[in-house]
Structure 1
């Protein structure tokens, strides 16, 4: 057996073992460690871990995804908001930090739909319907101006210590997938289509394509004409390279958001030529020694204008030094989604290279112990960083492994719009 095969075999076994360690009677914990609220049931982490669990076919892990979603629904807020995380031992519930977490609601909807599609558990779906309808109403309210895109406050999603705000692409893509999930559920429950909902879903895909990809062509449906043209003029060398990460009342962001660009391909928003451009850009910024995607690129350095603002963005302690955390840190979790997308597009050889990168990262030591499953890897030193025993780093290895075997990560991708 080759060295690569040995690593893949051990990497998968180690990752699956960590998933079992994270499984509790209330759902998946984000990590086995206790500091900074990681040992809780998190919406975002729990659903991503759950998506990997569905791919394993292991009944106990699949049931833990069900428990995760049930715990989140049981602690839904009075306006429909899904908790960012729940500590079931102390009954402490968090809906976010200084602002709520918009993507907690979006991942919850996607998770419920994917679990139901994978298992055919209609009893679960019936139990979740009231919670799902409340989330659907809340998401519509978060559009604020009823123009199709949800507005995300700063720190309002997974990049909660980074400089993104407004109409963030990552959240719009999750919103699109959530709307597709609502369409599928409505059709199953009522035996007919909700044409208004399907039109809304189609329009959102159109809005994303028109407002986040600069290619020198005037789009049909610009959300804000002045902002759009200012954004194109400010970033001409980024046209036809990757999807813009966000725009807000003050203008466009321009750094490469890896998670958003991967989801644009996975959810069928990007056309083939666009995914090829993104693949090329990812190849340019992927380290030769360890094939992993950075959260954002380029890195914000102390000499940059954005550095002063970035230094103010943290919950417990500052994490975003250059090449760390969101600021150019390399993430196994994001890379796991990229592997699944590569396989779906027929790029299996490249997918295996990035799978090996995930295993290489997960095997890095922390506190003198190998297979630390770190949160991220330093973008230059290639050393383990952040929290250890991170569930979604293990999930990345599991989902990538099964994607290469031919299993879909997202069953509803590309449907309805």
Structure 2
């Protein structure tokens, strides 16, 4: 089973950690984790993406009740799997209302589901669970292969197709490719355990994806992607344009599509590139230095994307027409430069093994952010923090903001956050 809480006493003594665990318990139901116990919009539902993040925190904490809620989350989502293999974005079990996304489906719901299944199994040794889940996982595997469209190794993600559902990026989005890599690694490990043999086709696919990510999303002066360039002309144009923009060659590019590359800094993708052992040490150092310039003093959280899109920006018209219910991406809010406890928690986990002082610095800021008041109540666990006013924003009592703190505290106490990652030398 997962490690007991006794092994994590260092992380369990702070108020931030205790408050975060308490909110996670409020999110836990018999059907699985709610995105928030707050009755707002559709947050009071079992979500794939949020449930997986809460599940990683549950496993790191060693809390048996929370781990049971992760298992229930995965069982609920699997029960409502779609006819082509798609995992719901969210489910309301009482009314059996199921959403696979808004104007487009959510690619990352499937990826986080596979990752969470593997991490639950690796932490608990629950072979009965993973064997029962095999048909569900195989349907997801087939669907993901179809979503490559051209069978060339990268998922094609539509606008609004992942967590940044009101932002403007689509095509071969790095965040999703990294989760896809981790999902393939997870499927390889599960297959090897259940069948006692290696799925060589799956292993080759994971290795190919690893090399595609490294070759196509990080531009190096005087170097080229060679035979791993997804589209040589597109790659060369993107590389030349990146050299003229803020950040230049200092971080991973967020996406490319048939019309070209995007160049804004995607914090979640850059954190995952390191955490999932795709980045090399020199790339980590470059990204760390870039993040240090972005994080506001006193509230050292990572923005979702940078730079902010303002009304005089050419992308503003597209951004302000992309929303589900009401426009939320005002400058320095939500995805448009808002500061996210979620992303910062994963960054703390990444830093924990290589720069403890920096990890503790960002974790302290994360706890301060979670403690901010909303509606006169402290410890609001906001969805995001305004990028300049440093005030709480979005939905309060956000489960994954709490999970981010638990992930950070547990990582600094030595708990593994991901058990099935590969090495930095292969997929």
Q: Identify the residue that residue 373 of structure 2 maps to in structure 1.
A: 365
User: Normalized against structure 2, the TM-score is what?
Assistant: 0.95
Structure 2: stretches of 5+ with no match in the other structure: 1-9
1:254 to 256, 263, 266: 263
Q: Distance in 2 between matches of 1:14 and 1:59?
A: 17
Structure 2 CA distance for aligned equivalents of residues 39 and 83 of structure 1: 15
For 1:86-125, list aligned pairs within 5 A. 86-125=91-130
Deviation at 1:6, TM superposition (A): 12
- What root-mean-square deviation, in Å, do the aligned CA atoms of Structure 1 and Structure 2 show? 1.3
Seen in structure 2, the aligned counterparts of structure 1 residues 7 and 139 have a Cα distance that, compared at 3 Å, is: closer
The 3 A distance-change label for structure 1 pair 116 and 7 is: closer
Query: Given that residues 240 and 274 in structure 1 are in contact (C-alpha distance below 8 angstroms), is that contact kept between their aligned partners in structure 2?
Result: no
Change (3 A) 1:8 1:262: farther
Query: Against the structure 1 CA distance between its residues 101 and 47, is the aligned structure 2 distance closer, same or farther, given a 3 Å change threshold?
Result: same
Partner of 1:281: 290
Of 413, 422, 426, which aligns to 1:405? 413
User: Pairwise mapping of residues 76-225 of structure 1 onto structure 2 (< 5 A)?
Assistant: 76-216=81-221, 217-220=223-226, 221-225=228-232
Aligned counterparts of 1:234 and 1:240: Cα–Cα separation in 2: 10
- Rounded to whole Å, the distance in 1 between the matches of 2:128 and 2:267 is 36
Matched with 1:393 is 401
- Cα distance, 1:239 vs. partner? 3.7
Secondary structure at the aligned position of 1:153 is classed as coil
How far apart are 1:184 and its partner, in Å? 0.2
8 Å contact 2:12–2:18 — kept in the other structure?
no
**Secondary structure of 2:60's aligned partner:** helix
**SS in structure 2 of the partner of residue 36 of structure 1:** coil
Task: Please list the CA deviations of residues 167-220 of structure 1 after superposition, one character each: whole Å capped at 9, or x if unmatched.
Answer: 000000000000000100010011111111111111100000000001121112
Cα distance in 1, alignment partners of residues 13 and 370 from structure 2: 11
1:360-383 per-position Cα deviation (integer Å, ceiling 9, x unaligned): 000000011000000000000000
| Separation in 2, partners of 1:262, 1:102 | 19
2:392 to 384, 392, 407: 384
- What is the distance in 1 between the residues matched to 2:116 and 2:242? 36
| TM-score in terms of structure 1 length | 0.97
Alpha-carbon separation, structure 2, partners of 1:239 and 1:411 = 33
Decide whether the 8 Å contact of 1:293 with 1:334 is kept in 2: yes
How many residues are paired up?
Answer: 412
C-alpha contact (below 8 Å) 1:7/1:359 kept by paired residues: no
Task: Give the whole-Å Cα distance in 2 for the aligned partners of 1:8 and 1:383.
Answer: 26
Q: Distance in 2 between matches of 1:79 and 1:158?
A: 21
Q: Give the aligned partner of residue 304 of structure 1.
A: 313
